[in-house]
Amino acid sequence: MIWAYIAAFLTGVLASLGVGGGMVLIIYLTVFGGFDQISAQGINLIYFLPIALLSVIIHSRNGLVEWKKILPSLVTGVIFALAGAALARYIGSPLLRNFFAGFILLIGVKELFGSFGKRDKSQE
């Protein structure tokens, strides 16, 4: 039960920072929760809605939201979310799980090797 709280905490914090807390939740749901990949991703999207709303409110209060740019992003996001959901249902959970694992691996490799050779310019 403690793992559920840890996963929820990490997911909420990472999602609020905008760095992809959904990966933590999806991994938790598929590995520990026994959910198939499509169900885990659906649950992740439902979980994301209140976190996203709260984050938008907080960032808006801090003057970090450019409201004029939201409408095109919102329309495009809705269109491609519908297309992605249809594609996920079409390819099925086992293949989607493999794609998700490959995606996480690619991001990990990029982050690992992308950090080498970069200097922190704030300390120069």
Span 72-122, pLDDT tens digits: 888 898 899 899 888 888 988 889 889 888 988 888 888 788 766 666 555
Query: Which residue range(s) make up the domain with 79?
Result: 2-117
CB-CB neighbours of 104 under 10 Å: 14
Residue with tokens 């992605």: 84
Within-domain flag for 124: no
pLDDT above 90 for 28: no
Sign of the CA dihedral 101, 42, 84, 107? negative
Within-domain flag for 122: no
Within-domain flag for 52: yes
Domain count, the chain: 1
Within-domain flag for 42: yes
Q: How does residue 35 score in pLDDT terms, banded at 50, 70 and 90? A: very high
pTM: 0.59
**Interatomic CA distance for residues 28 and 10, integer angstroms:** 11
Q: 22-47: buried (b, 16+ CB within 10 Å) or exposed (e) per residue?
A: bbbbbbbbbeebebebbebbebbeeb
Within-domain flag for 82: yes
Within-domain flag for 123: no
Q: How does residue 18 score in pLDDT terms, banded at 50, 70 and 90? A: low
Residue with tokens 């039960």: 1
- Rg over CA atoms, the chain: 17
pLDDT above 80 for 17: no
Within-domain flag for 17: yes
pLDDT of residue 122: 59
pLDDT above 60 for 123: no
Residue 87, φ and ψ in degrees, nearest 5: -65, -40
Within-domain flag for 69: yes
Residue 95's nearest CA partner among 10, 38, 35, 44 is: 38
Mean pLDDT value of segment 16-21: 70
pLDDT of residue 119: 62
